[in-house]
């Protein structure tokens, strides 16, 4: 990313994240992945991701989108990873269509992308290198 692209992310664009609000569902062969978001205050969105298999629900991660003086950050805390500590990804691009957040120092992923296809469909992608191999995981959500 160039400095020109980084400079494009302005605090006022935090309002674009309103589209996150609600419950998003991805159906897999064996389970459902649920991601739910709500606005906590003027500078924070909070989310959680769950996997549902039959009657069992497992928390996968808690997430925040946080607006601070030094930028906007996507901050996930993944169960069983990073000693259950949050990892900060700086939002490099934030538009009405979605956002890109990066942390080149993280083991995997280094990049997180959320993109709305329309008001009811959201793709979330995590990508980067893991043990020298490029990887990408795509989550295709439908709003409930």
pLDDT on residue 3 = 43
- Higher confidence at residue 68 or residue 6? 68
pLDDT tens digits, one per residue of 79-125: 999 999 999 999 999 999 999 999 999 999 999 999 999 999 999 99
pLDDT on residue 8 = 55
Going by the DSSP 8-state scheme, the letter that residue 17 receives in this structure is: G
The CATH homologous superfamily for domain 3-143 is Calycin beta-barrel core domain (2.40.128.20)
pLDDT on residue 4 = 42
* Structure tokens, 3: 């400095």
């Amino acid at each position: 990313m160039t400095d020109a692209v980084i400079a494009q992310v302005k605090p006022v664009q935090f309002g674009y994240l309103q589209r996150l609000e609600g419950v998003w569902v991805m159906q897999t062969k064996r389970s459902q992945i649920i991601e739910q978001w709500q606005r906590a205050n003027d500078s924070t969105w909070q989310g959680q991701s769950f996997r549902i298999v039959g009657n069992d629900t497992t928390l996968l991660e808690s997430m925040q989108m946080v607006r601070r003086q030094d930028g906007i950050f996507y901050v996930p805390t993944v169960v069983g990873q990073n000693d259950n500590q949050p990892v900060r990804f700086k939002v490099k691009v934030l538009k009405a269509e979605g956002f890109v957040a990066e942390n080149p120092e993280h083991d995997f992923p280094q990049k997180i992308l959320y993109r709305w296809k329309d008001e009811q469909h959201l793709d979330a992608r995590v990508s980067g290198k893991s043990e020298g191999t490029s990887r990408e995981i795509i989550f295709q959500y439908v709003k409930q």
